[in-house]
Amino acid sequence: MSAYVSFPDFPPDLTGQIVKHASIPGVGAGFWDIWRCTHNAASGSVQVAVKALRFQAAPGLRKTSMMFLRQEVEIWKRLDHPNIVQFLGVVEGFGSSVSLVSLWMANGTLDDFLHEHDVKLELTHRLQLLLDISSGIEYLHSLPVIHGDLSSVSNPGQPEHDYLIWFY
């Protein structure tokens, strides 16, 4: 584990189990880089997203960045809702500190999925989408959590149902 980070009750360290594939351009807002990877676990392989914090060069900003990372880990590891993408653990090797690992949503954002597949959702699917996303947001707002960037993503197992909220 990185010498820069010392968290009590730290989530699983997946270093050595994650294989890097590609950085995803345009995803990740200002503070993050997102990588598509494979998690090779004893139970099998699964596609994951690695969210790596971009550190600023200024000396005073490193401490602030580490506090930001700690807050992100503390919040995300507590979230447990069917419409929130699951936090799996942390990994080293994607930047100057640990990075966050979640399941990879193969269909991407809802907007990407609709654009790429030229899908026109029926009314029932649109209502399901609204219910899934609003359920995730309602859950977030029921907690003492201040969220920043959120994205709706489509679960690859059921592209027309189970829309999830993802922190990026």
Helices (H), 79-122: 110-117
CA 132 to each of CA 59, 64, 79, 158: distance values in angstroms, whole numbers, following the listed order: 42, 34, 16, 13
Is 149 marked active-site? yes
Q: Which of 80, 112, 149, 162 is catalytic?
A: 149
CA–CA gap between residue 13 and residue 41 (Å, rounded) = 12
* Residue entry with tokens 């942390």: 90
String of b and e for 123-142 (b: at least 16 CB within 10 Å)? eeeeebbeebbebbbebbee
Backbone angles phi, psi at 102, to 5 degrees: -135, 170
Q: What token pair was written down for 60?
A: 């005073």
Catalytic annotation, residues: 149
